[in-house]
Structure 1
Amino acid sequence: MNYQQFAVLYDRLMEDAPYDMWMSFFTNVIGSENVETVLDVGCGTGEISVRLAREGFNVTGVDLSEEMLTIARQKADTKGLSIPFFQQDMRELYGFPEQDAVIIFCDSLNYLRAHEDVDTTFRSIHHLLKDDGLLLFDVHSLHKMNETFGEEVYTLNSNDISYIWECHPGTEDGSVHHDLTFFVNVEEDLYKRYEENHYQRTYSIPTYEALLTNNGFEVLTITSDFSDREPTQDSERLFFVARKVKKVF
């Protein structure tokens, strides 16, 4: 995937994203849990990391894109927050102290290309969590990948930025190619064109459950669409909460 130009445009395109709803999901889950340290995996430009820090959590951000992390660091500095950000692959997390909780929000897990990558990521996270630590993440459902995205085309047309976002099914079930073309106003009557290609893949609920269980987690809850409802065949976003159990690999 290519994030060089997308990182610069990301916050502009995501300004209506439900970050506060992800935060509510997190705070509702942890409840009376003794959670102080949080690793924000796939943190992007740091929107959720900043919110966690403001709430008093000792948060660390991790992302594969150095361009995204540059923006995240600038954002934290501007807000007077001390948040460490690191460029790492979620499949190979290392060098962190034990964490009370790990989060992977904004369907970041869906950017892993293969079943084995998800398996490796869960194992990597297991090693970083303290005993009884929590893993919280959300993913697109198969319904969303196969039906909602499908061959859909999304557009945005505004004075400073426009885009054409085309979705095409991948060869694997539950996979989608996102082809994005941006037109960004760089000066009066002059627009610059950028192109991005992204790939996402998801799996069935039983597959995620099996991967979690096989990597030393107990699945606590599976809900849907920013609610406490169990998923249905029409649910679009799935939310998992799992707890690390005492198991040695």
Structure 2
Amino acid sequence: MTHDILGDYKAYSLAGTDREVRFITEVLNLHPGEPLLDLYCGYGRHAIELAKYGYKVTGVDATKDFLDIAAQNAQEAKIDITFAQKDMRELDYDQQFAAVINMFAAFGYFTDDENANIINLIVKALRPKGLFLIDLLNREWMVRNNINRYWRHPSGEYVLSYKVELENGIATMKRQLINQVTGAKIQYEFVLRAYSLAEMTNIFNTSGLSIISTYGAFDGRPYSSETPRMIILAKKDI
């Protein structure tokens, strides 16, 4: 059985972004002016909208092309955002942010030790009692379902991303870029470490984070084995 993990919304549609940002602002419940880090912000679609709410947003991504698009979009929207190119394994912030968000399954692309250390670096970046919101694919759901995600890249190409297999917590993913003018297709494969809630809880506890809530979608429904997403809200212990 094949499902669209994004449900009835397109990944980069305005309606989808609005819904996600409403969810983010509601669960974080920050005051305007508070500093927020969008870790692996991509094209800046969350960062820009969150800045419109009055947050002082920093967007970090490892890909310069993404950041160039994000900076251009922010300029066109007349929004002031700080963008920085960093590998998430090399975060160097110290108690700078009231909250950190990591959206759209942007976690789990390194070794277990590296992934755990990324959480340590996020905790270091948070102010005392700061919040961390992470959006992951739900491994329990992935075991029983295939994944199709289809969206338009800002370059004009269409992207088809899907799961090939999931074994021992490692999901093999394939992504295909389709040029709409020439029809040319470029396909590549990568692996994603899909963590269970129990594993994430252990990583968080070890790093000094306590889980506040878990959600199964951006509409706020509770997390369960039947929800395609696993969205976790946690707080820094001290």
- When normalised by structure 2's length, the TM-score is 0.83
Higher-Rg structure is: 1
Structure 1 residue 170, shift from structure 2 partner: 5.1
Structure-2 residue corresponding to 1:19: 17
Cα distance per residue 1:32-85 (max 9 Å; x no partner): 668710000010000001001111110000011111111111111111112111
Structure-2 residue corresponding to 1:8: none
Q: Return the alpha-carbon distance in structure 2 between the equivalents of residues 36 and 213 of structure 1.
A: 25
Aligned partner of 1:57 among 33, 52, 55? 55
- 1:70-219 matches, within 5 Å, as 70-95=68-93, 98-110=96-108, 112-149=109-146, 165-169=161-165, 171-185=167-181, 190-219=182-211
After the TM superposition, which of the residue ranges 75-84 and 192-201 deviates more from structure 2? 192-201
Whichever structure has more helix as a proportion of its residues is 1
Structure-2 residue corresponding to 1:48: 46
After the TM superposition, which of the residue ranges 88-97 and 197-206 deviates more from structure 2? 88-97
- When normalised by structure 1's length, the TM-score is 0.80
Structure-2 residue corresponding to 1:4: none
Q: Return the alpha-carbon distance in structure 1 between the equivalents of residues 105 and 31 of structure 2.
A: 24
Q: Return the alpha-carbon distance in structure 2 between the equivalents of residues 60 and 155 of structure 1.
A: 27
Alpha-carbon contact 1:184-1:193 (below 8 Å) kept: no
Residue identity opposite 1:133 in structure 2: G
SS in 2 for 1:137: strand
Q: Return the alpha-carbon distance in structure 2 between the equivalents of residues 145 and 109 of structure 1.
A: 16
SS in 2 for 1:49: helix
Residue identity opposite 2:22 in structure 1: S
Q: Return the alpha-carbon distance in structure 1 between the equivalents of residues 204 and 30 of structure 2.
A: 23
Q: How many residues align?
A: 225
Aligned partner of 2:231 among 223, 230, 239? 239
Alpha-carbon contact 1:119-1:211 (below 8 Å) kept: yes
Alpha-carbon contact 1:91-1:121 (below 8 Å) kept: yes
Change (3 A) 1:75 1:223: same
Unaligned runs of 5+ in 1: 1-12
Structure 1 residue 196, shift from structure 2 partner: 3.7
Alpha-carbon contact 1:145-1:174 (below 8 Å) kept: no
Give me the identity figure in percent: 22
Q: Return the alpha-carbon distance in structure 2 between the equivalents of residues 208 and 193 of structure 1.
A: 36
Structure 1 residue 200, shift from structure 2 partner: 2.2
Cα distance per residue 1:75-109 (max 9 Å; x no partner): 11111112111111112211566110000011111
Residue identity opposite 1:68 in structure 2: F
Alpha-carbon contact 2:131-2:233 (below 8 Å) kept: yes
Aligned CA RMSD, in angstroms, stands at 2.6
SS in 2 for 1:136: strand
Unaligned runs of 5+ in 2: 1-9
SS in 2 for 1:147: coil
